[in-house]
Structure 1
Amino acid sequence: RRSSDLEVWRARVQKNPVNFLAMCRELSCIPDIWALKEWNNWLTPTGLGQSRRYDTAFFICCVQEIPFTTQDKKETVLYNWLTPHEALERFTPDGIWLPPPQYYELSRLCHFPSLQGLHEFSRERELEGCECWLPVRLAASDGFIQLLPGDELYPNDPHWMGEKNLNLSSTKSAEELCRDATRLHRIKYRSLYDFTLQVNIEPKYKHIHPLIKSNPRNMSSNL
Structure 2
Amino acid sequence: MIPRIVVSLGVLTVLPLQGAPTREEIVAAMKRASTAFVEKASFKGGFVYYVTLEGRRLGEGEATATEIWVQPPGTPAVGEALLDAYEASGDGFFLEVALKAGKALGYGQLESGGWRNSIDFDPSGPRIDQYRNGKGKGKDFSTLDDNVTQSALGFLMRLDAVTKGTDLDLRASIDYALPRLLAAQFPNGGFPQGWSGPVPDRPVVKASFPDYDWRTEGRVKEYWNEYTLNDGMA
Q: TM-score, normalised by structure 2?
A: 0.22
Q: TM-score, normalised by structure 1?
A: 0.22
Q: Larger radius of gyration, structure 1 or 2?
A: 2
Q: Which has the higher contact order (CA 8 A, sep 6+)?
A: 1
Indicate the structure with greater helix content: 2
